[in-house]
Amino acid sequence: MKTKILFLSVLIGLSSLFYSCDEDGGINIFTVEQDIEFGEEFHNQLLANPTEYPLIARNTASATAYQHLDRIRNALKTSPNLNYGSTFSWDVYIINDDNVINAFCVPGGKMYFYTGLIKFLENEAQFAGVMAHEMAHADKRHTTKIMTKEYGFSMLLSALLGDDPGMLAGIAADLAQGLGTLYFSRDNEYEADEFSVKYTNDASGDNNFDPKGISGFFEKIGTDPETTSAPEFLSTHPSDEHRLDNITEVWTALGSPTGELYATRYAEFQNSLP
Ligand SMILES: [Zn+2]
Cα(4) to centroid of ligand 1, in Å?
27
Structural contact between residues 10 and 42, judged by C-beta atoms closer than 8 angstroms: no
Ligand 1 center to residue 155 CA distance, Å? 27
CA of 195 to the centre of ligand 1 (A): 11
- Cα of 192 vs centre of ligand 1, distance in Å, is 6
Number of structural domains the chain divides into:
1
Domain that holds residue 209: 2-271
For residue 75, the CA-to-ligand 1 centroid distance in Å is 20
Backbone angles phi, psi at 111, to 5 degrees: -125, 145
- Cβ-contact 132, 200 below 8 angstroms: yes
Question: pTM for this structure?
Answer: 0.84
Residues with Cβ within 8 Å of 198's Cβ and at least 6 positions away in sequence, in order, are 79, 81, 211, 250, 254
Amino acid residing at 270: Q
Q: What is the DSSP track for 161-225?
A: HTS-HHHHHHHHHHHHHHTTTPPPPHHHHHHHHHHHHHHHHH--GGG-B-TTHHHHHHHHHHH-T
* Pairwise CA distance, residues 212 & 261, whole Å: 10
Q: How far is the CA of 189 from the centre of ligand 1 (A)?
A: 5
- Secondary structure (DSSP) of 127-167: HHHHHHHHHHHHHTTHHHHHHHHHH-HHHHHHHHHTS-HHH
pLDDT by residue for the chain (274 residues), tens digit each? 344 334 433 443 333 334 444 555 678 888 898 889 888 888 888 898 899 899 999 999 999 999 999 999 999 999 999 999 999 999 999 999 999 888 989 889 999 999 999 999 999 999 999 999 999 999 999 988 887 887 776 666 666 666 665 655 555 555 555 555 567 888 899 999 999 999 999 999 999 999 999 999 988 887 555 555 335 666 666 666 688 899 999 999 999 999 999 999 999 999 999 8
Interval between CA 101 and ligand 1 midpoint (Å):
13
Checking DSSP bridges between strand 27-28 and strand 20-21, what pairing results, if any?
antiparallel
d(C-alpha 160, C-alpha 56), whole Å: 40
Q: Which of 240, 265, 224 shows the shortest CA–CA distance to 124? A: 265
